[in-house]
Amino acid sequence: MTSITPTRLSDGRELIYFDAHEDSAARHRDPAASRDTRGLPPRGPAGTARFDALSGEWVAVAAHRQSRTHLPPADQCPLCPTTPANLSEIPATDYEVVVFENRFSSFGPDLGALPETPGWGTTATASGRCEVVAFDSAHEGSFGSLSPERARTVIDAWAHRTEALSAMPGIKQVFCFENRGADIGVTLLHPHGQIYAYPFIPPRAATLAARAAAFFDASGGRQTLMGHALAAERSSGDRMVIEGKHFSAFVPFAARWPVEVHLVPHRQVADLAGLSDEERNELTTVYLELLGRLDAPYPTPTPYIAAWQQAPIDDELRPASYLHLQLTSPRRAADKLKFLAGSEAAMGAFINDTTPESVADALRRATPTENVSGVPARKDHP
């Protein structure tokens, strides 16, 4: 069972240790061993959110993020354990999994609701919360390079934070994600992900939720849209990649990206917090296998965005919503990337350079690699 130990950094930000082993948890419960001695200045004010009346969307303005850390050397990494020469964001000599409030947050630290009837020129505080999830104390790697035990602890951390953030005032959507690779825009090599707790439902999530709700209502509440899609994909088999007892992975029929895979639980749940222990155990192995297959066709690691689509915090939308992972990569060949140009960036109309069936076939036939980056496998217990 994962132990959870909260503490505070010197500027008041919350930091939480997640440990699968009691001796690690005991060290982190010792105030002297977990005290942040940096004496950071108080946190600055939150950024702003501006309403785009032309699209009906909110845009966060976070100019303070311009000064955030960018690809530091290992001895200056803010996610590595603290040493006398590197007082990092994590004031411990070692750790398993850590979640903390982002120092360069796009949303928050203020909490509260956005205006209900915004119009042209409406500006508000960009309330909400942004957290960093350090997957491991090793400096290099990604979720796919974790041991199964460590990956399960990360999943428990995602579930815990999803439940906690969903209960905070003004939060409308909780989004857990991992960016991997410099081609995606990653600014830290340390294996990590992020969690955004938005004060609004983002456009992509709003579209998915609306489509799901319409389908659910049309069926008289008997069928979900993702459940229907999953059943169709499993029946066809043309785009299936992995099929387990509790989870299946498939390339969607209308994939937007050169590589795109959906990882879907067989049981409808609204979010990661709703998964059972047995489902979390299988998710650990299926997700690691999927990431291994993603790397297998190429001699170098594949850049990707792993995005967990969870139900909005909305009583009307949640019954129809269905947790799933959208794993996407712009890699269309070993040495080529797809860039969002005119049609995609300006109009939102995607044109795919690959066929979903050929991508699914390649991933099915791939022998999963443990770690093509060459990063040594991390031990389970620090």
What pLDDT sits at residue 376?
36
For 205-365, the fitting CATH number among 3.20.20.70, 3.90.1640.30, 3.30.428.10, 3.40.50.720 is 3.30.428.10
What pLDDT sits at residue 67?
59
What pLDDT sits at residue 66?
59
88 in Cβ contact with 78 (< 8 Å): yes
The string of pLDDT tens digits covering residues 318-334 is 999 999 999 999 999 98
The string of pLDDT tens digits covering residues 48-91 is 999 999 999 999 998 766 556 667 888 999 999 999 999 999 99
Please compute the mean of the pLDDT values over residues 196-208 and round it to a whole number: 97
The string of pLDDT tens digits covering residues 97-154 is 999 999 989 999 999 999 999 999 999 999 999 999 999 999 999 999 999 999 999 9
Please compute the mean of the pLDDT values over residues 333-354 and round it to a whole number: 91
Please compute the mean of the pLDDT values over residues 333-353 and round it to a whole number: 91
User: Catalytic: 192?
Assistant: yes
For the chain, the distance separating the N- and C-terminal CA atoms, rounded to the nearest angstrom, is 17
Across the chain, what does the average pLDDT equal?
Answer: 93
Q: What percent of the chain has pLDDT over 90?
A: 83
Q: pTM of the full predicted structure?
A: 0.94
Of 192, 228, 324, 381, which residue is the catalytic one?
192
At 182, the pLDDT band (50, 70, 90 cuts) reads confident
What is the fold, at CATH topology level, of the domain defined by 3-203? HIT family, subunit A (3.30.428)
At 371, the pLDDT band (50, 70, 90 cuts) reads very low
Instruction: Look at residue 372 and tell me whether its pLDDT is greater than 90.
Output: no
What pLDDT sits at residue 370?
59
Please compute the mean of the pLDDT values over residues 272-280 and round it to a whole number: 98
Which residue intervals of the chain bear CATH 3.30.428.10?
3-203, 205-365
At 311, the pLDDT band (50, 70, 90 cuts) reads very high
